[in-house]
Amino acid sequence: MRFISATAALLLAGTASALAAQPAGPATPEGPLPASITSNLPRNARPLHYRIDVHPDARKLTFTGTESVTLKVYEPSSALTLNANELSIASAKLVPASGKGTAMSLTATIDAAAQQVRFAAPQPIAPGTYRLDVVYSGKINTQANGLFALDYPDKRTGKTVRSLFTQFEAPDGRRFAPEFDEPAYKATFELSAVVPADQMAVSNTPIVRSVPEGAGLKHVYFAQTPKMSSYLLFFGTGDFERIAKRAPDGVEAGIIAPAGSGEEGRFALDSMADLLAYYDGYFGEKFPLSKLDNIAGPGQSQFFAAMENWGAIFTFNRYLLVDPAITSAVQKQTIYADQAHEMAHQWFGDLVTMDWWDDIWLNEGFASWMETKATDHFHPEWFPLLDRVDGRERAMALDSFKTTHPIVQHIRTVEEIDQAFDAITYAKGEAILSMLEGYAGADTWQKGIRAYIAAHKYGNAKTDDLWHAVEAAGVPELTTIAHDFTNQPGIPLVKAEATCSNGQTTLALSQGEFSQDRTEDAAAHPQHWHVPLVIEGAGPQPVRTVLDGSASLTFSGCGPLIVNGGQLGYFRTLYTPAMLQQLRTAMPQLRPIDQIGLVRDTLSLATAGYQPGAPAFDLLQAIPANANPVVAQNAVNRWSGLYDVLQSDADRAALEATLRKLWLPRLEALGFDPRPDEQLVDTNLRSTLIATLGKMGDATVLDQARTRFARLRTNPHALDGPLKTTWLNIVARNATPADWRLLQTLSQQTKSPAERATYQELLGAARDRTLAQMALDYALTGKAGTTSSSIVTKVAEGNPELAYDFTIAHRAKVESLVDDSGRSTFYRRLVGASVDPAMIGKLETLRATLPADQQRPIDQAIAALKERLQSYPRLRNDLHAWLAAR
């Protein structure tokens, strides 16, 4: 799954031919689930095969189902317990799988809180193989949980139409059919459905049979899946178009989109075909299904962008389709990365699945790491490896508080599963894997990965299985380092002190712990890590070592030293002022990744009070004017984040002047409009420069934005192109009532789901409180669709207190617009930009209304807010002094 990361308050801190022969397993040994694997179900039975038939009624938002589960019972049992959520059971019976013997009627009892259904037998069930037949009904949701509906404008007619999709991760397969809905219970699935005859139905496998059903309906039957976890099943039906091509490995790649949008999937389709061959090679295991589709859902979620259903990826429109009218350059890169991520899951997650949700990072950290690696392989001109620093900083923004958790964490409840999809699981997971790959060497690492996949395919695994595979490939000490970074939370702080005498540098290193809210405790009793270091600058070759406590190293020469060369180490480095001074002088000659990494590291250390601000601002200022476009964009974003901290007009003017002096020439060189054949990274840099100058109130940029926006009054296509959202954002932020009404009219007039979503969200961007309030009210009218909570989160970026108070006042209504999986983190997102001390009390009041397993995101929000209240004044003072000295 690709989750939606929370808004950071401060910028400091992606109908086929016949089925190929499919292996059905077995890698998971037969027998009851072992006690070593967590489960909330009794261990008396295991499913082997599901036959599920559904009849959705899209208009009434209900469906009926019949299911036959072939299962093995291992001990004399009075009942069988499966998962079920919001299902009504009409009848259930147990039939011996041999067909001999009589059927046994079962009595179903629902336990709603446990999301389970217990089928009690009139007499003991003897061990053996059976078929459990269930007739049931369920509901179609309007948010992405279980079987759900999306309403959207038909791009050809503008009429509102409805399509159906499913979303089962983490535990929502149980909303579709009674299932052993835990990842270790792998089984084969055969799905069929009754759908409108003029619609396209899609699932994990191709359709093998389609039979007219009368009354404008047809019955479609999908081929049997390989052995897989229940959360990977997919079903969708609607007025779709499919474009397809054969990948080099013979697999049919397809993009399925709402009718009228088909060609918008061309970029994704071409990427998918190339990526299939690349992953086949990397994993040493050919993609095991005959086809891979990626299905575009016209809507959005507060929780996720895309989902890796095996052979049938689901992706919300804007993360899959390139709409030339509005898709920005950065969005195009996101589309690529998202698809690379979900495709990596086809192996890491689908073919090999974690035993239990404790190890969800194995899926998500790995797919995040792999997406960057694959993007770098095909699009080095986007410099995707430079984004590894951003990922590290996203992870550390959560990991530097007491409320963090280890990558591998013990999970029991559904709520805890949903919360596990966070920056620790994804971004810290990616960072640690990058560090360990760097430590092991890319080839040895890949050898280990291949061995791991081969050993566990069609089965399950845990984190240590991966470490052991890489160790066996030739990195014997890997597990020690890996355990330090995955089994304990937090961030190592490496203190570096270089002294020079007689042309020789002595580098004293010691390991502490970096924290934003337990600074004293972290200093007195730091956790211990084995930290892999790559020390650069001391000679032609970097010096590699593992820091175990403290160390002293000697180098010839007295030049600048980088302790985290290449920036793949997951730690912060506290340099002495003299070392920082040397790095500042050397900045123009440093590698792009080190330029970004050093600036981010020192700014974070300054924000947390570990060092003064000035040396960090000096490093930021030292990034050369001709820097790599991604580095330049990063620098401009840092200035933008610092600007947000300031309050005095004089300081803001001074910072704007600094930014203009450093970076306006680059914008002038790029020009205001995209040039044919320019690199995507240049389009991105231009967008960032325009957005930042616009935010700071630059008269030329504001004037450009208004003039361009005014053309929309007579021509809705006047702004089409990769900079459309950039200009619209500037106008929306500074909107007048007339601007706001035009945005609203445009959102209602467009036939493009992508444009509609964008215009709607922008209504919430207005800094003017009256307009922001109008946006909030509009979100609840129903006119903005069922996923209009994105308007509320947009308001929260500029008016967090207003958005929060509104949500609390209309809690039930706003929550109904958020998918269940995203609810617990929704409030954290709302207050991510707040610096109002009164918000702490409000959050504490909210927390008191929540069950214990939903409180952590609120605790995290409070901790981050307290930290902003502490660090912003300090940063403000430091910046004031630094600006005054220019």
What is the set of active-site residues?
A: 342
CB-based contacts of 119: which residues, under 8 Å, 6+ apart? 79, 80, 81, 82, 92, 94, 106, 107, 108, 132, 134
166/683 with CB nearer Zn ion = 166
Cis bond leading into 26, ω under 30°?
yes
Strands (E), 523-650: 531-535, 543-547, 550-556, 572-574
Stretch that binds Zn ion, among 87-95, 367-375, 722-730, 777-785 (CB under 5 A): 367-375
Q: Alpha-carbon distance 552 to 529, whole Å?
A: 17
Q: How far is the CB of 422 from Zn ion (least distance, A)?
A: 12
1 in contact with Zn ion (CB under 5 A): yes
297, 315 Cβ separation under 8 angstroms: yes
1/45 with CB nearer Zn ion = 1
Stretch that binds Zn ion, among 4-12, 364-372, 453-461, 749-757 (CB under 5 A): 364-372
Q: How far is the CB of 24 from Zn ion (least distance, A)?
A: 25
Q: How far is the CB of 3 from Zn ion (least distance, A)?
A: 7
**Residue 554 CB: number of other CB atoms within 10 A?**
9
CA 395 vs CA 6, 322, 401, 405, 484: distances in Å: 11, 29, 11, 11, 16
Task: Name the burial class of residue 54, with classes exposed (0-12), middle (13-18) and buried (19+) by CB atoms within 10 angstroms of its CB.
Answer: buried
Q: How far is the CB of 432 from Zn ion (least distance, A)?
A: 16
364, 424 Cβ separation under 8 angstroms: no
* Nearest residue relative to Zn ion (C-beta): 1
Q: For residue 768, what are its two tokens?
A: 């003017």
Report residue 766: phi and psi, to 5°.
-60, 130
4/164 with CB nearer Zn ion = 4
Stretch that binds Zn ion, among 68-76, 234-242, 361-369, 843-851 (CB under 5 A): 361-369
Q: How far is the CB of 276 from Zn ion (least distance, A)?
A: 17
* Cα-based angle 875, 881, 882 (whole degrees, multiple of 5): 85
Q: For residue 347, what are its two tokens?
A: 């192996």
DSSP label at residue 75? S
Q: How far is the CB of 487 from Zn ion (least distance, A)?
A: 22
469 in contact with Zn ion (CB under 5 A): no
2/756 with CB nearer Zn ion = 2
Q: Alpha-carbon distance 342 to 323, whole Å?
A: 21
368/834 with CB nearer Zn ion = 368
> Among residue numbers 79 through 108, which ones bind Zn ion (CB under 5 A)?
none
CB-based contacts of 70: which residues, under 8 Å, 6+ apart? 47, 48, 49, 50, 51, 97, 129, 130, 131
DSSP states of 794-805 as a string? HHHHH-HHHHHH
Q: Alpha-carbon distance 342 to 3, whole Å?
A: 11
* Beta bridge partners of residue 133, listed in sequence order: 68, 93
Count of residues that interact with Zn ion, criterion CB under 5 A? 3
How many residues in total does the chain contain? 886
> Cα torsion at 799, 803, 806, 807 (round to 10°)?
-170
Q: How far is the CB of 308 from Zn ion (least distance, A)?
A: 6
Q: Hey, is 283 helix, strand or coil? A: helix
Q: How far is the CB of 229 from Zn ion (least distance, A)?
A: 14
Residue with tokens 């990072």: 361
Q: Alpha-carbon distance 378 to 380, whole Å?
A: 6
Q: How far is the CB of 741 from Zn ion (least distance, A)?
A: 40
Q: Alpha-carbon distance 10 to 641, whole Å?
A: 5
315/752 with CB nearer Zn ion = 315
**Residue 771 CB: number of other CB atoms within 10 A?**
23
Q: Alpha-carbon distance 552 to 503, whole Å?
A: 17
190/416 with CB nearer Zn ion = 416
Q: How far is the CB of 372 from Zn ion (least distance, A)?
A: 13
360/580 with CB nearer Zn ion = 360
345/847 with CB nearer Zn ion = 345
Q: How far is the CB of 577 from Zn ion (least distance, A)?
A: 42
Q: Alpha-carbon distance 56 to 62, whole Å?
A: 6
Q: What x-and-dash track marks residues 307-346 binding Zn ion by CB under 5 A?
A: ----------------------------------------
164/362 with CB nearer Zn ion = 362
DSSP label at residue 103? -
348/740 with CB nearer Zn ion = 348
Stretch that binds Zn ion, among 279-287, 358-366, 646-654, 686-694 (CB under 5 A): 358-366
Cα four-point dihedral sign 481, 482, 488, 491: positive
1/690 with CB nearer Zn ion = 1
Report residue 715: phi and psi, to 5°.
-140, 105
Q: Alpha-carbon distance 242 to 263, whole Å?
A: 9
Q: How far is the CB of 377 from Zn ion (least distance, A)?
A: 19
Stretch that binds Zn ion, among 1-9, 143-151, 656-664, 687-695 (CB under 5 A): 1-9
325, 290 Cβ separation under 8 angstroms: no
> Cα torsion at 493, 497, 498, 501 (round to 10°)?
-160
659 in contact with Zn ion (CB under 5 A): no
Residue of the chain from 164, 337, 367, 712 that contacts Zn ion (CB under 5 A): 367
Report the interface residues with Zn ion, using CB under 5 A. Answer: 1, 364, 367
